Amino acid sequence: MPNINRSSLLVVVLLLAMLACDLPGVPLPPIDQNAQGTSIALTLNAIIQATQNASPVDISSSSTALPSPSETLAPAPATLTPTQTATVTFTPTFFLSPIPLYPELSVTIPTNCRKGPGKIYDQVGALLTDRTVRIYARDPSGTFWLIENPDSPGEYCWVWGEYANISGPTYMLPEYTPPPTPTATATPAPSFDASYSGLVACTSWWTEIRLKNTGQVTFRSVSISVKDTVTATSNYSTTDGFEDNPDCVNSSSRKTLTAGKAVNVSAPGFVYDPTGHKLRATITLCSDTGQSGTCVTKTITFTP
């Protein structure tokens, strides 16, 4: 409390000193020394009495309450925990191909599928490179595999394992005995007989030759070469079908010469009469037109 009174008195004294100073340029009224002293004295006395009678300030009852320590303290900063960078570990994934419950087969090049395990059996289908098929059996040598025919579902055939990729267990496959080796069916051999049957004289001379089919192959074309062995003159002709000119007016033709049938054909002619000359005729008959297919040739010699 004494500190507060001294501070108040100091303020009052300073104020009075300032009032007592003459301000430059401002005329002051005449000062009544007695009145001035009386006024100062009265003012000081009032201040002293006010100071002595003042009640001490109750800080706790002030309308402006001081904040509590918990309110004046700023909240403690949050403790920051350093963020740890996660380390990613890559675990290798292994992809295992499922093993089929039964063996399967594919080929690297197209492979024939046959009635039996071998080339002697007829081909009935083919396994292409974009197919994978089930294996049902194997042959005793383990080189051929029985599969369903890719070209005929519901039927079975054998493929060679030379170009095969096999997956799955094969040890439980049944072993099939190969079917009987197919008996080769003999292809009937073409055959015919040829003989001289006459000479026709018109503007030229040609010989008539009789042909008989003695085999099982049907003939559709014929070629005839006739050579005069005396003059060394040769004539040649080839036709599809069989033509006959028995005289200078009539003619006939036949497209085929079937088994057991006979026909006369006219050989190429000479510009002279070959009578009495030894002639040699070479005849070729073929199963297809254009002298193609199965062909057979015979040579005959005669003298008109």
Arithmetic mean of pLDDT, 211-227:
95
Helix (H) or strand (E) holding 8: helix 2-20
With 0-12 CB in 10 A as exposed, 13-18 as middle and 19+ as buried, what is 294? middle
DSSP conformation class of 194: E
Query: Per residue in 13-41, is it b (16+ CB within 10 Å) or e — as a string?
Result: eeeeeeeeeeeeeeeeeeeeeeeeeeeee
Cα angle 286, 289, 290 (rounded to 5 degrees) comes to 95
Stretch 40-46: mean pLDDT, rounded? 54
Higher per-residue confidence, 186 vs 159: 159
Summarize the confidence of residues 174-190 as an average pLDDT.
77
CATH architecture of 104-167: Roll (2.30)
For 96-122, b where at least 16 C-beta lie within 10 A, e where not — what string? eeeeeeebbbbbeeebbbbbbbbeebe
Residue owning tokens 């294996």: 135
The pLDDT value recorded for residue 150 is: 92
Task: Kindly indicate whether the domain formed by 192-302 is annotated with CATH number 2.60.40.
Answer: yes
Q: What is the pLDDT of residue 72?
A: 47
Q: Could you tell me the residue ranges of all domains in the chain? A: 104-167, 192-302
Q: What is the pLDDT of residues 70-113, one digit of tens each?
A: 444 455 555 555 555 556 555 555 455 565 688 999 999 999 99
- pTM, entire model: 0.42
Sheet architecture: strand order including 205-213: 192-201, 205-213, 262-266
